């Protein structure tokens, strides 16, 4: 992009500052990979591997089935599934026929499902048999022509299928025999009867996916993304990874309803010719076993996943020399957690550092990443190729001075098309600046140094204002996390009639540390040495764990709501 500077040449010589993006759909991009590496494993699910050639054939079979149901170009179809082979195949099959995937969390509530179906105007939905009850209840108020049910067992080998039926399968409620659903086997059989043309010619700039996020106002928004958005992300991520090559593997634990999971852990890996080890549900013990048995080259997750790894005794003797990349995103990675995890990696044979990424669902996922071999404390790295960042004075399009704090704005080929049915919110987020380019206003505060390294500070709305001072919870959390007794912390603002807000901290202690008054006072004494008086927490509450969002972030809003409820009680 002309007239915009980029830091790659100085700090990241191995990464080109410009890439070429072919006019292809997402399906066409992975079909190219399948042609080059037909016998390479694409998917690995509970021990059953699927080659690129077989995955491509499976995608075509599902595409025919969708067309036999009457799904056509531009239709939206809701996929409410964990990370299973069916989820991957469904996603690309819809893309092949020109339909749009509406990706939602399988643990969504009935109210959320109803909203997602209405907001997207989905004509069909696919989910697991165990979630049938929620969808059936929703159908009483939301018209849904087709409900397709599959099972984890549909993706297992014959032996594993028997084992599943005797264990977890027995606990799943039976779906009534007269239920208005289409079972997976019948769905595929329906496709065999379809003999007409089904591959739909689409462009890179055409709509392809809806993902949900809070948007700039905190309310749920459907984010419409194009083929180009995902393909550009894949090529950028491969370039930034430096080491990514066909035949390598990613432990794909991040869920596919999330841009991080779908964009990086699935689409990027498949574009690169790598193997996606699909993990349908995170469990600390099973994750450790997968690391031991599968020896993946890449792992990616939110900070709480890395916290869980550090706390897991089953990780004590795991050899991690197989790792070529460890990526953290979705939430702020504290400097203390980075130090701890980098040391953990070294102690377990890995020769790499954890690399923090930053991005928003409005640009699929990450658009900025810590370089492979360069780290600046507190920085989230430098922008991806063809992606540009600037810091503006909040509420304006005026660029801030170098090093001055302001709102993070970015532009590039992964920028969303729009918020679905929300023109005003779209206009607030996507703004044309005086340089003529459209920039995403992220709603995040940060700075940028003279070398182009970006520093994330806080969501603008999470900033605590106490006695007229701005306090940033993440900065306080870094300080509290540095105390030897603390495993992780969360800082919130509590309404106060005099100060407007006062600062409260929550902490999860390390194993063996007692949640006593003496421990609390010791942590507060540590805080007094490093935190200004106006920003000091008035209290520290100990918790066994923190509430989490659906993607594993600390649900600080829930803690805020609990405190407000106490005040109002």
Q: Where are the domains of the chain?
A: 8-12+213-458, 26-202, 467-568
Beta bridge partners of 448: 454
What is the per-residue pLDDT for 3?
42
User: C-alpha angle 479/481/484, rounded to 5°?
Assistant: 110
DSSP one-letter code for 173 = P
- Alpha carbon distance 209, 231 (integer Å): 12
The CA distances from residue 274 to 69, 94, 266, 271, 487, in Å, are: 32, 22, 9, 8, 34
Within 249-297, strands assigned E span 249-252, 275-278
Within 132-171, strands assigned E span 146-150
Asked whether the domain spanning 467-568 has the same topology as the one spanning 26-202, the reply is no
CATH superfamily of 8-12+213-458: ANL, N-terminal domain (3.40.50.12780)
What is the per-residue pLDDT for 216?
44
**Topology, domain 467-568:** GMP Synthetase; Chain A, domain 3 (3.30.300)
User: Coil, strand or helix: which one is 345?
Assistant: helix
**Residue from 446, 497, 515 nearest 474 by CA:** 446
Joined together, the tokens standing for residue 182 give 């289409």
Low-confidence ranges of the chain (pLDDT < 70): 1-17, 166, 214-219, 468, 498
Q: Report the DSSP pairing between strands 221-226 and 249-252.
A: unpaired
CB 147 within 8 A of CB 139: yes
Residues contacting residue 381 through CB under 8 Å, at least 6 positions apart:
355, 356, 357, 358, 368, 369, 370, 371, 453, 454
pTM: 0.84
CB 364 within 8 A of CB 229: yes
CATH 3.40.50.980 fits 26-202, yes or no: yes
What is the per-residue pLDDT for 292?
92
What is the per-residue pLDDT for 425?
92
């Amino acid at each position: 992009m002309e007239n915009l500077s980029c830091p790659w040449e100085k700090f990241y010589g191995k990464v080109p500052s410009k890439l070429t993006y072919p006019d292809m759909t997402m399906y066409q991009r992975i079909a190219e990979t399948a042609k080059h590496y037909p016998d390479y494993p694409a998917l690995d699910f509970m021990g059953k591997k699927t080659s690129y050639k077989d995955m491509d054939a499976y995608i075509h079979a599902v595409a025919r089935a969708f067309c036999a149901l009457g799904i056509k170009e531009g239709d939206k179809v809701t996929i409410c599934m964990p990370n299973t082979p069916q989820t991957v195949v469904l996603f690309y099959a819809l893309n092949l026929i020109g339909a749009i995937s509406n990706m939602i969390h399988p643990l969504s509530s009935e109210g959320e499902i109803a909203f997602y179906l209405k907001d997207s105007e989905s004509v069909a939905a696919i989910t697991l048999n165990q979630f049938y009850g929620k969808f059936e209840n929703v159908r009483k108020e939301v018209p849904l022509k087709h409900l397709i049910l599959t099972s984890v067992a549909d993706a297992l080998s014959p032996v594993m299928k028997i084992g599943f039926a005797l264990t977890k399968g027995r606990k799943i409620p039976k779906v009534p025999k007269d239920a208005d659903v289409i079972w997976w086997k019948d769905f595929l059989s329906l496709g065999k009867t379809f003999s007409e043309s089904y591959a739909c010619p689409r462009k890179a700039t055409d709509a392809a996916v809806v993902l949900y996020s809070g948007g700039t106002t905190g309310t749920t928004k459907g984010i419409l993304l194009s083929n180009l958005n995902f393909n550009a992300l894949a090529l950028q991520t491969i370039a930034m990874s430096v080491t990514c090559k066909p035949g390598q593997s990613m432990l794909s634990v991040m869920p596919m309803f999330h841009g991080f999971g779908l964009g990086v852990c699935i689409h990027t890996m498949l574009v690169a010719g790598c193997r996606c080890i699909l993990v349908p549900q995170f469990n600390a013990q099973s994750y450790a076993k997968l690391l031991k048995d599968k020896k993946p080259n890449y792992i990616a997750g939110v900070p709480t996943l890395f916290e869980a790894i550090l706390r897991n005794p089953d990780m004590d003797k795991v050899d991690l020399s197989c790792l070529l990349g460890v990526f953290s995103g979705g939430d702020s990675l504290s400097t203390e957690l980075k130090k701890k995890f980098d040391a953990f990696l070294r102690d377990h044979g890995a020769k790499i550092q954890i690399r923090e990424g930053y991005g928003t669902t409005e640009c699929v996922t990450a658009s900025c990443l810590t370089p492979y071999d360069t780290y600046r404390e507190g920085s989230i790295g430098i922008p991806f190729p063809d992606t540009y960042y600037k810091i503006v004075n909040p509420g304006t399009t005026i660029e801030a001075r170098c090093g001055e704090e302001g709102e993070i704005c970015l532009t590039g080929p992964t920028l969303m098309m729009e918020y679905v049915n929300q023109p005003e919110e779209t206009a607030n987020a996507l703004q044309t600046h005086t340089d003529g380019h459209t920039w995403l206003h992220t709603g995040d505060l940060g700075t940028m140094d003279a070398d182009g390294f970006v520093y994330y500070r806080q969501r603008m709305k999470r900033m605590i204002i106490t006695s007229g001072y701005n306090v940033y919870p993440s900065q306080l959390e870094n300080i509290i996390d540095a105390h030897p007794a603390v495993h992780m912390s969360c800082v919130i603002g509590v309404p106060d009639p005099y100060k407007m807000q006062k600062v409260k901290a929550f902490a999860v202690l390390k194993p063996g540390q007692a949640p006593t008054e003496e421990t609390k006072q010791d942590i507060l004494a540590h805080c007094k040495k490093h935190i200004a008086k106006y920003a000091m927490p008035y209290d520290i509450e100990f918790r066994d764990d923190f509430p989490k969002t659906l993607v594993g972030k600390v649900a600080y809003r829930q803690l805020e709501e609990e405190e407000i409820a106490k005040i109002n009680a």
